[in-house]
């Protein structure tokens, strides 16, 4: 929030891009993403990072 303001659903791809640019996420790393859509829904994703 302090850097970009409110970004809504774009915050997850923005965080991935930021981590990649800072060298925190490299090819072959496992990335775990979570977000809250509604009070009872919690989408989760685990993937092997492979930049294109």
Predicted pLDDT at 45: 84
Predicted pLDDT at 1: 64
Strands 44-48 and 30-34: antiparallel
Predicted pLDDT at 21: 92
Which H/E stretch holds residue 32?
A: strand 30-34
Predicted pLDDT at 34: 81
Low-confidence ranges of the chain (pLDDT < 70): 1, 52
Model pTM greater than 0.75? no
Predicted pLDDT at 32: 87
């Amino acid at each position: 929030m302090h850097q970009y303001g409110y970004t809504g659903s774009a915050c997850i791809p923005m965080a991935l891009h930021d981590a990649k640019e800072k060298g925190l996420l490299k090819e072959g790393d496992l990335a775990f993403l979570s977000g809250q859509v509604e009070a009872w829904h919690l989408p989760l994703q685990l993937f092997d990072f492979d930049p294109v």
